[in-house]
Structure 1
Amino acid sequence: MENNITNEHSMHLKDQLRQLGLPYKLHEQIDYYQQMDILEFTLPHWIPENGSLTLIELHYKPDTQNLSVLDTIDISYRPPIEIKDRTVGDINTKELDEKMASINWTYDHFSERIVDEDMKTASGRKMLDHVSETLHQLDQLHDNKIHGDKETAQLLMYKHWTSGYYSRFVEDLSAMKKLYEYSRSIKVDGQNISIQNIIEQLKEQYKISVQQKLPVKRELPDKTIGRQTRKRGQSL
């Protein structure tokens, strides 16, 4: 009986995801947490669109019957980030931006398994060299006290590493979010919620701030990222 109740509740959670207009891949995560008997968890979903990035976070908590329920939805909209065209030392910031955009940063390129696979093919070795060169330039841009630009380097990391594995290396991520993102948190409480409408409202909020020329950027803390990136084991 308990298993039937759990399965029925799992179907309810998945139906809720469908009603919210969220993709099927999130259903697999519901199954995972059910199998692991984890009642409190968060499902993240990123939506890239023409340079912008929207993050939807679904927060689940146990109810009085010890079943997971959707408690809160957090939605953050990040407008497109423009990197200024500058030449710093021998690094052009726009070219570095384009290089970073050409790489899938959602996984660790230097994990043992990935490196072993990449080294088997010419295209894999070429990609590994491309990632290494890009990280080396990014590290130089950030760490070089004479020919460097830490703020632009940090902005590049935030722009390209927000979703996936490399997000852990974005310095002061919470501060960056406050600077560049428009967010809203919604308590579910059984109400009908249109995620798309909320995203459109956040986009409109951004447009209004641009029209009013409100400041969206200030100087960021002066810290280093080079040592953090090297902790992953790659040689830069």
Structure 2
Amino acid sequence: MKPHGTHSEEDLDPMSAGYETVASRPVYADKVMSLRVDDVRMPGGQVAERAVLDRPAAVTIVPLDDTDRVFLLSQYRHPVGGYLIELPAGLADKPGETPFEAARRELYEEAALRAATWHILADMRVSPGAVNQLARVYLARDLTVVPDDERYELGQAGEFEEADFRTEWLSLDEAVARVHAGEIQNSATVAGLLAAASARALGWKPLRPADLPWPAPLTARTR
């Protein structure tokens, strides 16, 4: 007999015991997110409410030039009431678009850059206690600048907050130093810069091919 309040590995494995959603109530929805409240039965039988913010997957890009400078932008973020220093990023919300295609599009739209060499740096769950969004961080190298006339011919001038970007190039080392100083706070940007610095220190050996699909859904306990 197991002591009260303890569970075996089998008990805790969602594939065997299960965390079962027994009811779900929609609260809010717009074109980029929805909020619902789920009633979830735990392995011990208790039922608890869990709010879930459903958002499309996202991509973030670390554009690194041949002198180890990284492209950064400052964007107004209304929920925090100010500008955040960020890497180029966006939602992978186009029908049929792969994450790699989304990354190339966002680099073009937000930075007016193209890259000949791409790799995956990291996959992230940004705030898994409440948000189900999956995010992927790419490293983009061998950069070329998109000519202004081409960019604006295709209507990529930006709108709303994106019309007010402030951009800069920093050495990767300086950008990482600004992370440690607390000056760069956007979570995907922090992860991307630190992952790029770590991969560089390891001779780029941890890099994965850029065209991999999204990771498989999480179903079982990681052992």
Report the TM-score when normalising by structure 1: 0.24
Greater helix share, structure number: 1
More strand by share: 2
- The one of the two structures with greater contact order (alpha-carbon pairs below 8 A, sep at least 6) is 2
- Return the TM-score normalized by structure 2: 0.25
